[in-house]
Structure 1
């Protein structure tokens, strides 16, 4: 096999993912080993060593993942304990400081772990300080809405299992002596910051961020600009930084007449020191390993294989930290490198006979985007096609600025030239930022979408080989493609009449998205009155975008309490909203300014109104047009009865018992699904009201461990007595209600098994996968029989 390192990385990745997603026990591990040995026994001799290599690293992946999932702090969570640790990383945010702490001891018992400590900005802290504090550890939460950012995985990629918060006044300096490794890193960072102090504020932030690979130095608008025009890779220490630094050093040493071997040793040492100074982020580890391997190959006069080098770098990286497999930086860095190595020459060949620097750069940009576009859409839900042009023009300028930036660390006078050159870079980024017409938003692609994309890419890449295949093999491939398209189309068509209601987990608040045949209605948007956390910007809006919602046909606000409407402001600023429907005219100035700026019509409705939107019929049951309640805003909530595919859903806002008594007089009948009023508070859900509704399914939208103690035990018991199935967002995350023509399907997004799109996808489409596996197996047998027959005919001739 030309590149056996592929088997190493493939086996390692499979082992890590298998260990993470499935709860391992003795029987499962023994069973895996038995199946592996059985496969080795059944396959032919030539393939035994290939499978053995793969299976060995599969087991290594299981082992290292399992080891890294274990934490010595498991016995200390949810109770107060005294911790002593060293500050390893500091991230200063607008209102708080986040510090990664290397724990030395817990309650005077030696312990080596990492945690994330968050505190206020009243006190200054330094890298390497040994601190003492008492805190309660909490496990990092996974995303409770599908497709959203997984904080737990992010922290695992930093080798952190637990987090805690402590007031800075209760954090004490335990030891003033700072370890040497932190002194060196701090001095380098301070030197870089001081060296660029002559630059303008924007240029200073940008160059510090670029050299240190730390985007926290940037203003929010700077970061967003680089993100929007596809230049975020310039801010991560990657191949560009390492290659420029090492190549420049190597050329300088060669010019000075330094021996070639010494030159290579110095260059490798330099890039490793630089990597240490910046904390070895995943992209820098890849670049350093690959560059070092290329220099060693040159030193030993051996051929250098970029793809083999990439696989080896990935193996080393994941052995160091298996959870880098979940790091977006790691995934994008390795995918970009793979795409360049595999597709660059193919893309460049398309421009023949044109050659030169411009063609090389354009080929590089196009080749890297072949694999990166679907990943960018998957993670960020947008792709700006202007990024092709921005990379073509700005990257060469940024590369020159980076070289000048490195040189100015030695010759500070160069910062004057650097300032002018960076001004040009900023002007160009501002120009490209204005072209928003080519910035397209996309819904998060499914695993099936991604599979089809890369399958098509594989077919195009191997078109020459495919054209030269035997006719019978072409037929098998054609049948496979047709079957794939048929299965994909059937899956889409059979769900076309489904009405989907997603009860989004917005913490202590309400938000539900109704979707039917491209029509989207949002009932409430969540929000918070007691926190700076913007629910709309961080949860509701991202979920809508990731679900492919670019327009709301209607935004229904049950009433103007923060936990129901405040999240709508971020939505109105970023998505097209055709109309707002509510119980009364709002008084919030900021809300009124936003609807006025975006020309969104506002409709005030009551029980005399019915709403018909894109096939969804909504009856307004409350408030009535002749009853005015007291000043309790909860009791003015809109009560909406949704009729969908013959099923009835009741949205109750935050109504209390007084309104429930009034609604009992209307005799509107039973419902199939009830959104329980006021987050399950004991001020709502009268037993006679629940008995009258007789809901088969009850949804409670409520925050985990909330201040109010919602839902009340009384409400839960009332629902149990009514034989209603209870679903809670605090326990299950997002609750998806799929209303088909003949039944209702409830899909809570709960637990680690269901929280991963891949596992969820495989679980819900197992019949399709069985079809594919059987078809592939039959295809394989058919091709092998055909080739066997052809070999025998050839022997007879």
Structure 2
């Protein structure tokens, strides 16, 4: 299949030019536009120069748009008013949804607006300038399309696409929004109402799938979806619009509509989607990519690339700043890959598998390959599980989106019917969440890209060529895919100890032993297990020959009886015990720790949070375990001994800071836990030290459910062996050795 690529040079040149011009001035843009007009005039009668003529016309249009918009901002009266810092009165219209953020413990709201009128110093001007407004407190009642009067102080904006920022001092009266904006807000609220009975994570994800409302999406979901390559599902993208288009056009086709009627239905669906999801840059992008699909329906797949190029030029003409938007780059790249590369994969795969399966594989592979250089440039890493995660999650995306949208519409009429659809959407969203969390939890889910991202521009075409060649050879293709899957699921050993380790939870059976690095060959050891050999083996593997500090959290055998193995052949500087005491290590001074103390040794520092100095054991040594909040190279670790629910509650009431990146789960994962303590720690990673097939049932199902509900990933010594938490390029990873 051939593609009409005559528009491609013009689209690429316009894109590159716009990305540069928005950082310059209006005079430069005007000069380039005039030059492009001259070139177009020269080429006008040359038939063989059609691609160059189209490129010149596109460049002239985009440069003219840049020059006009930059001149409007440069000459705006708001820029002069911002220099005075005086209080002004403005009539504004909200054009982006309000977002709440917290700074220094105080809530504020940021919202995009268009300034339509300003009154100050005897001036009363009507204009149409973009600005960003900052409002004290939670102002989520500000919705797109709403007009209101505010008083505030102006300040110059550091963005070239807006005139000023507004620090709102007082909000005045507001007028109602247009009926179409009011209707879209009612539907968005209906979607939230439909999923209200669901648990936290599905309740937050469904509105994001339907209309891009990410207010309920947690940081944990965002991080896991980023690692697994599913981030595009949470933001409004071509995927969301494609699903809506597919449903509406299928209904129209069933009603007897033909090609021209389908184009009209598609165009109306796009307009309604933009109203529902808001006309923000990402939504406009999605609408343009949806228009490309509708155009391909009208002009044939050969015209899809031409439609994409025209969409790029039109979008850059409307908003030249999209040229520097990461989302724009990813949207266009993915769409181009699907139009050009996916059919190639599908045709070759169809020779030995059903067409639906070939398309299901070809589309995500094509999109991921084309987007890889951009993703590496933006995030500094490349996901190895993105294609697999998208393949597995894809069947649930459309049902979740459609059920959520239908539930939102039904909730406006009859709430129970909306809830029924919301349950269906929630079940599908739960599957997507499971895929995202599981894929992100794999050790080889992604890898850091340290070379210049431009290298991938050369490397990706080579990989693409190899993938295309393999796709028509079933034995080789399946073998490579299976080998790759095994490598991601169980990556090769990286050596032990892994570089950058900040904590190791040793496999000592039904007991505890944790090691924190101090310097090469030196460590702080917290607990030693019950037997000598396991802790000795673990310390040997880490190359530890000096214990700068040996902390024995409490006197139970599974925490202290292995002390001889820990000190064997090693120098020990000091022993620290809790109020329940511990063994005497010959020739080593012992100190009894109490809450409020702190220590720092090399790379490791720690605050003692528990127990209080006057806390007697009272027969419960677990309850007076030494609890440390340690820090190693900026990573916070909560080391909890065997404290149970009561002690955890008292620690919370004391008001100390318990937040941490990593949690050593208390008491081997017993059910004696305080959920509020787990919440307050907020760790993304948890380690559980328990013996294989132990008689206590550790870790308990209740504890694992508690961690799962909070999005905490856990590793267990009974299943994973020694567990190392590793800091690489500012991100935490876990490497285990069974």
TM-score range, shorter-chain basis? 0.5 to 0.7
- Aligned match of 1:593 in 630, 636, 647? 630
Q: Does 1:160 find its partner at 2:162?
A: yes
User: Which SS does the other structure have where 1:353 is aligned?
Assistant: coil
Show the 5 A alignment for 1:671-750.
none
Question: What is residue 156 of structure 2 aligned with on the other side?
Answer: 138
User: Which SS does the other structure have where 2:632 is aligned?
Assistant: helix
Alpha-carbon shift at residue 202 of structure 1 (Å):
1.6
Partner Cα distance (1:361, 1:302) in 2: 21
Superposed CA RMSD: 3.9
- Aligned match of 1:98 in 101, 110, 132? 110
Where do 5+ consecutive residues of structure 2 fail to align?
411-417, 470-599, 610-626, 638-738
Partner Cα distance (1:462, 1:267) in 2: 33
Q: Does 1:228 find its partner at 2:240?
A: no
User: Which SS does the other structure have where 1:217 is aligned?
Assistant: coil
Alpha-carbon shift at residue 161 of structure 1 (Å):
3.8
Question: What is residue 436 of structure 1 aligned with on the other side?
Answer: 443
Partner Cα distance (2:277, 2:30) in 1: 39
Query: What per-residue deviation string (whole Å, max 9, x for no partner) do you get for residues 270-312 of structure 1?
Result: 231121221234454344345446546656x766521111112
Partner Cα distance (1:289, 1:103) in 2: 26
The two structures have a TM-score, normalised by structure 1, of: 0.52
Alpha-carbon shift at residue 599 of structure 1 (Å):
11
Question: What is residue 187 of structure 1 aligned with on the other side?
Answer: 186
CA 1:198 to 1:57, structure 2 compared with 1: closer, same or farther past 3 Å? same
Partner Cα distance (2:271, 2:194) in 1: 22
Question: What is residue 538 of structure 2 aligned with on the other side?
Answer: none
Asked if structure 2 preserves the Cα contact closer than 8 Å seen for 1:87 and 1:131, the reply is no
Show the 5 A alignment for 1:392-471.
392-411=391-410, 412=418, 413-443=420-450, 445=452, 447=454, 449=455, 451-453=457-459
User: Which SS does the other structure have where 1:280 is aligned?
Assistant: coil
CA 1:77 to 1:450, structure 2 compared with 1: closer, same or farther past 3 Å? farther
Partner Cα distance (1:580, 1:60) in 2: 64
Partner Cα distance (1:456, 1:401) in 2: 36
Partner Cα distance (2:266, 2:43) in 1: 49
Partner Cα distance (1:273, 1:360) in 2: 28
User: Which SS does the other structure have where 2:132 is aligned?
Assistant: strand
Alpha-carbon shift at residue 390 of structure 1 (Å):
0.9
Q: How many residues were matched structurally?
A: 463
Asked if structure 1 preserves the Cα contact closer than 8 Å seen for 2:36 and 2:57, the reply is no
Asked if structure 2 preserves the Cα contact closer than 8 Å seen for 1:40 and 1:48, the reply is no
Show the 5 A alignment for 1:540-579.
none
Question: What is residue 372 of structure 1 aligned with on the other side?
Answer: 371
CA 1:80 to 1:588, structure 2 compared with 1: closer, same or farther past 3 Å? farther
User: Which SS does the other structure have where 1:237 is aligned?
Assistant: coil
Partner Cα distance (1:580, 1:161) in 2: 52
Partner Cα distance (1:326, 1:137) in 2: 24
Alpha-carbon shift at residue 101 of structure 1 (Å):
1.7
Asked if structure 2 preserves the Cα contact closer than 8 Å seen for 1:407 and 1:414, the reply is yes
Query: What per-residue deviation string (whole Å, max 9, x for no partner) do you get for residues 486-514 of structure 1?
Result: xxxxxxxxxxxxxxxxxxxxxxxxxxxxx
The two structures have a TM-score, normalised by structure 2, of: 0.56
Alpha-carbon shift at residue 173 of structure 1 (Å):
2.0
Partner Cα distance (2:428, 2:8) in 1: 42
Query: What per-residue deviation string (whole Å, max 9, x for no partner) do you get for residues 361-384 of structure 1?
Result: 222222112121111110011122
Question: What is residue 125 of structure 2 aligned with on the other side?
Answer: 109
User: Which SS does the other structure have where 1:197 is aligned?
Assistant: coil
Q: Does 1:67 find its partner at 2:72?
A: no
Where do 5+ consecutive residues of structure 1 fail to align?
141-151, 464-578, 601-797
User: Which SS does the other structure have where 2:360 is aligned?
Assistant: helix
- Aligned match of 1:12 in 11, 14, 20? 14
Q: Does 1:239 find its partner at 2:238?
A: yes
CA 1:349 to 1:38, structure 2 compared with 1: closer, same or farther past 3 Å? closer
Q: Does 1:77 find its partner at 2:75?
A: no
Alpha-carbon shift at residue 44 of structure 1 (Å):
11
Query: What per-residue deviation string (whole Å, max 9, x for no partner) do you get for residues 319-339 of structure 1?
Result: 211111111111101101111
Q: Does 1:86 find its partner at 2:93?
A: yes
Q: Does 1:354 find its partner at 2:352?
A: yes
User: Which SS does the other structure have where 1:137 is aligned?
Assistant: strand
Query: What per-residue deviation string (whole Å, max 9, x for no partner) do you get for residues 191-216 of structure 1?
Result: 22222223222211101111111333
Question: What is residue 735 of structure 1 aligned with on the other side?
Answer: none
Alpha-carbon shift at residue 260 of structure 1 (Å):
6.2
Partner Cα distance (1:431, 1:459) in 2: 30
User: Which SS does the other structure have where 1:332 is aligned?
Assistant: helix
Question: What is residue 199 of structure 1 aligned with on the other side?
Answer: 198
